[in-house]
Amino acid sequence: MKIILLGAPGAGKGTHAKLLVDKYGIPHISTGDIFRANLREGTPLGLQAKAFMDRGELVPDELTVDLVLDRLQAPDCEKGYILDGFPRNLSQAEALTKALNQRGDDIDVALHFVLEEDVILKRMSGRRVCTVCGASYNVNGMMPRVEGVCDRCGGPVVQRADDREETVLHRLEVYHEQTEPIVAYYRELGKEVVVDAGKPLEEVQAELNGILEAYL
Ligand code: AP5
């Protein structure tokens, strides 16, 4: 199953991707997570990406597209993958389609997470993440058992640097300008399936599992 997760920042893509990994055993490829891991390790890619991420801007395509296309060639992607945060503009979407089609391949479905902007802002301001394993929590009822300590790996749980309100507002602007056009792109290709991401976590997950049955 080759899945793309589309939707605004904070719509729940990362949260549900991690649950889908557990259920379907295919890798979760998040460009945001890749950049953050590079930043933690102090690689040149991480340091270059940081400046853009901190401002809520997109990291340039030159640093992003080949990275993902190479990752998709890895053996663990043979049975499928969940792409989260990529593609993020039309040129990335077209590069992905071209690279897959050249191999006689294509994605199966683009799951479009739809959520009201006021709910997004509430979720983003409440989000806390583990700096070691990336597990996501929320002060609105999904906190780790011990405050500030990840349930999964014991790492520190903090607010993401780009989750400050002014940066979130700019990320939403960038989303509307640059990422939203790819929703229409996948709709025209017949790949878009809308997901109501405003429901409680378990209900969203049940909806996703129902949709994905068709692609097993
Ligand atoms: P990235 O890491 O991709 O961030 P994003 O798309 O902005 O997405 P988020 O991780 O903020 O949101 P999400 O939808 O995963 O929400 P989550 O599940 O955490 O990108 C960061 C930056 O990297 C970009 O700004 C850019 O600079 C750069 N970048 C990345 N990819 C790039 C690319 N391809 N090209 C160029 N630049 C790129 O959920 C949010 C909160 O809500 C959580 O706290 C969660 O617990 C909670 N929640 C989720 N679902 C529910 C629910 N159903 N009910 C209640 N709470 C819920």
Q: Which of 88, 123, 128, 191 is catalytic?
A: 88
Q: Hey, which of 69, 123, 165, 183 would you mutate to test ligand 1's pocket, going by the most ligand atoms within 8 Å of its Cβ?
A: 123
Amino acid identity for residue 154 in this structure: G
**pLDDT single digits (tens) 107-163:** 999 999 999 999 999 999 999 999 988 888 999 888 999 999 999 999 999 999 899
Q: How far is the CA of 32 from the centre of ligand 1 (A)?
A: 8
Active site residue 18: no
Nearest atom (ligand 1) to Cα of 129: 44
Q: Are strands 81-84 and 109-114 parallel, antiparallel or unpaired?
A: unpaired
Active site residue 23: no
- Domain 2-27+74-115+173-215 is in which class? alpha beta
Distances (CA, A) of 193 to 54, 78, 83, 95, 190: 31, 23, 15, 21, 9
**pLDDT single digits (tens) 40-95:** 999 999 999 999 999 999 999 999 999 999 999 999 999 999 999 999 999 999 99
The residue ranges of every structural domain in the chain are 2-27+74-115+173-215
**pLDDT single digits (tens) 181-213:** 999 999 999 999 999 999 999 999 999 999 999
- Residue 198's φ and ψ, nearest 5 degrees, are -85, -5
CB 17 within 8 A of CB 28: yes
Active site residue 160: yes
